[in-house]
Structure 1
Amino acid sequence: MSLLIDAIRKAEAEKNESVPSQEAPGEEPGLELEAKPEAPVGIEEEDRAAAERMFAAKTLSTSHYRLWILGAIAALLFASGTGYWWYRTETQTAPQISAPAPLPAEPERASEVAAVEAPAPVEAPKPKPKPEPESTNRVEVRKKASKAIVNPLSISGYQAMNSRNLDVARKQYARLLSRDPQNREALLGLAAVAMQRGRIALAERYYRRMLEIDPEDPDAVAGLANLGNPADDESRMKSLIHNSPDSGALYFSLGNGYASESHWSDAEQAYFSALKAASDNPDYAFNLAVSLDHLGQKNLALRYYRKAVELSGRGFPGFDAETAKNRISELEQ
């Protein structure tokens, strides 16, 4: 500030030094302007001080103005920088805004939410206890029940047949049939008694009556086939065997059909299956021995002839035991 004041004072001094008049180039000599009276020294100093104050005021106002401008510029730069920083921050984090990661919840609150929203865990179904005694007991109960259901008349009739007492067997089966007209043991038992007595028509009637109750009863089908021409029922035998593969009677009837046509190889297989299903039947063993004898298998034939004779002491075998014994003697030579 002092430098400015010195410069003003110097300028005023130079101005005062240039006040003495000089002759104007075109003026006439002798003509001089009247000099202005000098202002008193006190007034000059007051004017100088007023000028200095005015200059200082102007300088101060100018500096304030500049400071205001600089402050505005600084504020504008700060706002621009802040805006740019915000824009960069937002553009860099823009992908996260569309799918923000969930804020970590407080442990206690998370447990509360889970307790409310999460469904209770479903327990795996406990394995059902094995029907250990139950299944076994059921089978045993059924076995016992089946034995209890079998009428004593049926048991006595079967025992009478094995004892070759046809009269007792027929009476027991007849009594059972009168109490239960659809009893399987009674119908098949009476048919067997009729066949042993040579009453073929009566046996056929019992078999057909059984087939009315159960059209696929293997024993009734086999017995009826043995009364006629077994070869005519070959296709039916095979169909029934497919449904009842453990029926010895069906295999026996099928073997008889093959034997009637001298198809000994097929007959041997059918008789073997029949004996496998009922190993205590003497007729199955005897017919198997005959088929093997026809096939020239003497050793095997001898084996089953002996088995047939051994089993012939029970019931009513369809062969003559003495004939079987004679054939055994011939094969042993």
Structure 2
Amino acid sequence: MSHLMDELKKAERTRSAGVRAPAEIRPQVAPGRPSPVPAMTPRVAPRPGRSPGVMAAILLLGGALVYAAYAWLHESADHPPVAASAAAAAAPVSMQQAQAALQQGDIRRAYMEYQRVLAVEPGNRAALHGLAEIALSQGQEAVAGNYYQRALQADPRDLRAEVGLIGLQARQAPQAAEARLRDLLAQQPEEALLHYALGNLQASRSDWPEAQAAFLQAYRIEPDNPDYLFNLAVSFDSLQQPQQALRFYRLALAAAEQRPAGFDRRQAQMRLAALRAPQESQ
């Protein structure tokens, strides 16, 4: 415990300084506690009450919106053709609208806006990532894999797409997926996304001490990422460390006001209130 506190103090110094620091530590979900956000889709969160799946296998958009996305993912572009110059000018706007719609849980609109971007820029990796997330949120793993493959074809160094494919692999071969993540971490030890992905893989099997260590690594490298903060809060919560859980739920909610977040804010607020109640009654 003292070792963990030392690492947290180091992370706080990094957070206060606003710089990245190298990660160098090696350190069950109880009913009602939130599930961590899957690694490869930081804007998509599982529904409250569901057990965390293996990496991205059980991704669901927060909120009650459920759509028959299979048809949308396969529908042909039925919008009137747009002049090339006008379409190119509209692509950045479509990207912004897609990101906003996905954050709000409007899957259909996000899908259509991402497709508009791809009509102009077939190799736009951000749009391909977004479409993969939508497919995953609806259980369309083969469709998601296709989008991730297209992103890798556009840029073989696309780490987010590679982590997405590892997440798909993890359902059938979790040990091979973990081995691949560790290989990537050996090559890129300061890549926060890889630590985050490893933490989610460990959390999926309720290995909370190891998951916490991985989330702490991700937090030390990118201390203002709301999903890293949230998953770290969940790990403290799951290990029955309420003071630290309270602190990181608060930090996660504050960070989510500054940048897009995948976790369900209502879930975090409810858990925050539940943890705070015993203190306020004393």
Category of TM-score, reference length = shorter chain: 0.5 to 0.7
Aligned with 1:172 (options 113, 117, 130): 113
RMSD of aligned residue pairs (Cα, Å):
3.0
Aligned to 2:166: 225
Residues 220 and 277 of structure 1, relative CA distance in 2, 3 Å threshold: farther
Query: What is the distance in 2 between the residues matched to 1:279 and 1:257?
Result: 20
Q: Are 1:236 and 2:180 matched, yes or no?
A: yes
Aligned to 1:270: 214
Deviation at 1:185, TM superposition (A): 1.3
1:1-333 correspondence runs (5 A):
151-227=92-168, 228-229=170-171, 231-311=175-255, 317-318=262-263, 320-332=264-276, 333=278
Identity of aligned residues (%): 38
Deviation at 1:167, TM superposition (A): 2.8
AA at the equivalent of 2:262: P
Q: TM-score, normalised by structure 2?
A: 0.54
For 1:20-77, what per-residue CA distance to the aligned partner results, in whole angstroms no more than 9, with x for missing partners? xxxxxxxxxxxxxxxxxxxxxxxxxxxxxxxxxxxxxxxxxxxxxxxxxxxxxxxxxx
AA at the equivalent of 1:304: F
Query: What is the distance in 2 between the residues matched to 1:246 and 1:156?
Result: 31
AA at the equivalent of 2:201: G
- Mapped contact 1:225–1:233 kept (Cα < 8 A): yes
- Mapped contact 1:158–1:169 kept (Cα < 8 A): yes
Q: TM-score, normalised by structure 1?
A: 0.47
Deviation at 1:237, TM superposition (A): 1.2
Query: What is the distance in 2 between the residues matched to 1:307 and 1:178?
Result: 39
Partner-residue secondary structure (3-state), 1:182: coil
Deviation at 1:231, TM superposition (A): 4.6
Query: What is the distance in 2 between the residues matched to 1:278 and 1:169?
Result: 27
AA at the equivalent of 2:239: L
- Mapped contact 1:286–1:304 kept (Cα < 8 A): yes
* Structure 1: unaligned runs, 5 residues or longer: 1-147
Quick check: which has more Rg, 1 or 2? Answer: 1
Indicate the structure with greater helix content. Answer: 1
Residues 153 and 322 of structure 1, relative CA distance in 2, 3 Å threshold: closer
- Mapped contact 1:160–1:168 kept (Cα < 8 A): yes
Query: What is the distance in 2 between the residues matched to 1:280 and 1:216?
Result: 24
Query: What is the distance in 1 between the residues matched to 2:236 and 2:100?
Result: 32
Query: What is the distance in 1 between the residues matched to 2:136 and 2:165?
Result: 11
Alignment size in residue pairs: 184
* Structure 2: unaligned runs, 5 residues or longer: 1-88
AA at the equivalent of 1:153: S
